[in-house]
Amino acid sequence: MTPAHVVVPSPVGDLTVVADGGAVTHVLMDAARHRPGAPEVFGDVGDPGEEPFASAVTQLDAYFSGSLTTFDLPLAPRGDAFHQRVWALLREIPYGETRSYGQLATALGDRNLAQAVGTANGRNPIAIVVPCHRVIGADGSLVGYAGGLDRKRFLLALEEPSADVSGRLF
């Protein structure tokens, strides 16, 4: 099949959702470090289209309104086997929670993989849906986010349980 895309307005800027063969391959932020228009990184985003995006648009809208905590979309991120393992772990981080790069590396079986986890996290092609924004530094600090730390802060605040807002660190 030929990829197609739709641009979805959001509180963190326009998101370009790309699908190929009925599965989402990318959710790209307009001002992210790795963004649409970089075919050497992402390949062809295809022509604008409406299908198969209805569910993705609906779920992203629900996420930003605070009524969706888990996405249920067919995904087909493109990356090597290590990247796929990291991205699968990201999807296991519950809404409203965070993990450190070291915790993810340990889950992969080698604490020394923290830097490689960071690289894979930065190459996540499906922002927000594959929640790389939920990964923080070992000391709890907000570090590294291809969409920028302001967006990461916004997404984490959006997911923060309301009872925790008064004591939040960022």
- Among 43, 11, 8, 40, smallest CA distance to 27 is for 8
Mean pLDDT, to the nearest integer, of 15-21? 90
Supply the residues annotated as catalytic: 132
- 119-160 pLDDT, tens per residue? 999 999 999 999 999 999 988 889 888 888 999 999 999 999
Question: Is-contact 11 154, C-beta < 8 A?
Answer: yes
Q: Which residue has the higher pLDDT, 3 or 132?
A: 132
Which of 42-46, 72-76, 130-134 is least confident? Answer: 42-46
Question: Which pLDDT does position 143 carry in this prediction?
Answer: 86
- 89-109 pLDDT, tens per residue? 999 999 999 999 999 999 999
H runs (alpha helix) in the chain: 39-42, 54-65, 81-91, 101-107, 114-122, 149-159
β 23-29/15-20 pair status: antiparallel
3-state secondary structure of 63: helix
Which of 51-55, 83-87, 94-98, 119-123 is least confident? Answer: 51-55
Report the alpha-carbon distance of residue 48 to residue 28 in Å, rounded.
14
Q: pTM to 2 decimals?
A: 0.85
* 57 CB burial (10 A radius; 0-12, 13-18, 19+): middle
Question: Is-contact 156 133, C-beta < 8 A?
Answer: yes
Q: Which residue has the higher pLDDT, 156 or 52?
A: 156
